Structure 1
Amino acid sequence: MLPTFSPWGTIAYFKLNREYIAKVLCENRKRPELHCDGKCYLAKKLKQQQEKQDKETSDQVHNTPVIQLFISQSYIYNFEPETVVFREPVRFFHQLLFYAAPVGKLLRPPRR
């Protein structure tokens, strides 16, 4: 059984089972002068794994729901003057406080 979780797993599987792959699964096992030693099998499995991963990625991209959000902040401007209605009459009090300082006596020239 070939691990399919990553290319590193496939390479580790190849390294651990190199003799078996070279003798049984290699496509060039009948031509030892090529010194393939199962590399063709490894290349084929890595290519299959890459194609499978590409297909899964493509399927995930195509099956991902798309949510389009458009957020707009709207402002409402009201240029009419606000009308204030009082239920009770409003009494305004204004108190004028006037203070007269003794400036006249202070600003005279001194007497001799």
Structure 2
Amino acid sequence: MTRWFAVFLTALVLLQTFSQELRVVDYQLHKERITELFCVNKARPQLHCNGKCHLAKQLRKAADEESKAPNGAKVKLKFEALPLLRVYAAQQAFYPVVVQQFAPLRVVHYTFSPEHGIFHPPSFWA
């Protein structure tokens, strides 16, 4: 169930993101029908409009709607949970929480003894 819900939400986000591209794809798929029904320049075939005027109107309309939409949804909610929390907190007894911390065991496999070191500064014989 949650997988289908996630797929549904993802599809909604993708539809919103690619809305203009989907309009262009729809135009390309139904170019002949759009030319017959919605083209403004039918009387002037030398312009080779082929319904691009209708596509431009749709894209302009979508851009205007997007620019008119607020950047973030501003919803004012009046939520009064604090008095309920105070009553609930007064009824509930508080006990100290004891957290035990355990140090992890460290196994050190590295040892260093300066007596057996092979790394030393070079000696110069003059």
TM band (smaller chain):
0.3 to 0.5
Higher share of residues assigned helix: 2
TM-score, length-scaled by structure 2: 0.42
TM-score, length-scaled by structure 1: 0.47
Larger radius of gyration: 1
